[in-house]
Amino acid sequence: MRNRWPLGIDRLLQILKADADDRLMDLFHHDFQDVANTIEHGLLGSHGFRTNEPSNIAAMLSSQFEEFGVGLRRPVIFPLLGDGIFTQDGAAWRHSRAMLRPQFSKHLYQDLSIFCEHVDNLIARVAEHGHSLVGLDMQPLFFRLTLDVSTTLLFDDSTYSLRADWAGKETEFAKHFAIAQDFVVQRFRYLNLYWLAGGRPFLKACASVHQFVDNIIERRETNLKAGVEGGRYYFIDAIANETQDRKALRSQLINTLLAGRDTTAVLLTWTLWVFAPSIEIQSELTLSSYLLPRYPDVLQRVRAEINSVFGPGEELTRDGIRKMKYLANVLKETLRLFPPIPLNIKTVYKTTTLPRGGGPDGSSPLLVREGDTIAFIIYSTHRRKDLYGEDAEEFRPERWEGDMPLYHDEVNANWSYLSFNGGPRHCLGQDFALIEASYTIIRILQAFPSIKPGQYERPQSQEWLADSSSESGRVMKTSRERQKMTLVMSLSDGCPVVFG
């Protein structure tokens, strides 16, 4: 992409504007549609590429894995996450992964009891507050739920934030975690000038997050010394056996807590957002009745599947959840359109080539040099019509029951859907996250026969002018929802729902 201003300042301003307007991923997706599936760019003195090409992603994540690494991600995010699995490469990363993998053994949550108590607490909060015509914002409740579940799994010391009076220490943790993530996103925007963003407020937020986890570590150590054990071997115990370094222990736990809390919380939020029935726009000025998409037929089919698998009052089981193929496809389709981590950045460690992006038509290999940054944006990959069909930007779980263009090519079939990453860095917690999300959705639908859209204070759909390579130079685009980008992609204005 050509920059109009020195150092790509014009492009940076476009990115910052799109981010402020809650449509950053739509800007990137438009660029791919307008220019090519792999785009070269220069920004603030850094050289790099953006791609949504499955073959390039496969090379970086698998076949040429050792030639690409976390690179810039480490200094950008290190003040928050420290030296953990998401900031490591090489031997340190392999050691962390080997240490964490056994902790995701399915037998640890085979009976689903780890979820039951916390989902009970969620349903109790919804029953208390979910009947207002304005609606109850489910997004912060889902973040509380996944925090409670994750701290149980990691520490045997749940925060029980859904039991609290909505203003406890866990709320302070969540607030500072969000502040720190906002600064991390800013630091990513500035690439090699990442140090310009943050300063004292960023470090203060990180320190608060660290203290929260340190307190949990201290309580666990105190309980173990006093002989108060839960009878199980938890994440914290496994990691503590590997290191006596408190900072290293804290870093690994924060890395895992981030993965367990944020990604599943936004998956649940987007799924419930999808379930809410559509309503008509009464007026451009009627903020409380703007379109909340969109698919009541999907909700009805999921309810029918639940009733066919689980009888009234029957306890949920893993085997029963596995039988729910349509719910699995709903979650998969939600993750396709709204991946919790919609982009990732790699740094080239060794001058090499990627399979596509070079030559006049972009079909030849592409030279990438040591030090280049490459952002692969699965948000756009997941919406490519040549991979998912002409309705690629529509929510249709049934697509996973039939044929799609991506299945006609081996690389595309394996590397066009990456909501849980791929290759050696494939998400260790995929099964846990999907079971947690499935269990929660089923319980909510069993508890509440009616789910209706709540009220937003502003329109969620917005039109915007995008630069274009067409003769006009500009094109009108529409973003259907307001997306907030931190380390995950959430709903900027939350997910208000009325339950009945």
Question: Going residue by residue through the chain (500 aa), what tens digit of pLDDT does each one get?
Answer: 667 778 778 888 999 999 999 999 999 999 999 999 999 988 887 899 999 999 999 999 999 999 999 998 999 999 999 999 999 999 999 999 988 888 777 656 777 999 999 999 999 999 998 788 788 999 999 999 999 999 888 887 788 889 855 445 567 888 898 899 889 988 988 878 899 998 999 999 999 999 999 998 888 788 777 766 555 657 788 788 877 788 989 999 999 998 889 999 999 999 999 887 444 333 333 332 223 336 778 999 999 999 999 998 899 999 999 999 999 999 999 999 999 999 999 999 999 999 999 999 999 999 999 999 999 999 999 999 999 999 999 999 999 999 999 999 999 999 999 999 999 999 999 999 999 999 999 999 999 999 888 888 888 899 999 988 766 788 999 999 999 998 899 999 999 999 98
Query: In the prediction, which pLDDT does 239 show?
Result: 82
Extended beta strands in 360-415, E state? 364-368, 373-377
Query: In the prediction, which pLDDT does 232 show?
Result: 60
Query: In the prediction, which pLDDT does 220 show?
Result: 78
Global pTM?
0.92
User: Residue 252 in contact with residue 239, Cβ under 8 Å?
Assistant: yes
- Strand order of the β-sheet with 136-137 is 136-137, 496-499, 451-453
Query: In the prediction, which pLDDT does 285 show?
Result: 34
**Ramachandran bin of 275, using left for φ above 0, alpha for ψ from -120 to 50, beta for the remaining angles:** alpha
Phi, psi for residue 157 in degrees, rounded to 5? -150, 75
Q: Return the closest-CA partner of residue 437 out of 89, 189, 146.
A: 146
Helix then strand then coil, % of the chain, to nearest 5: 55, 15, 35
Query: In the prediction, which pLDDT does 93 show?
Result: 95
**Residue tagged 């889902």 (tokens):** 142
Query: In the prediction, which pLDDT does 108 show?
Result: 64
Distance in angstroms (rounded) separating the CA atoms of residues 59 and 348 = 12
What's the distance, Cα to Cα, between the start and end of the chain in Å?
51
Three-state secondary-structure class, residue 53: coil
Distance in angstroms (rounded) separating the CA atoms of residues 385 and 392 = 5
Distance in angstroms (rounded) separating the CA atoms of residues 28 and 18 = 9
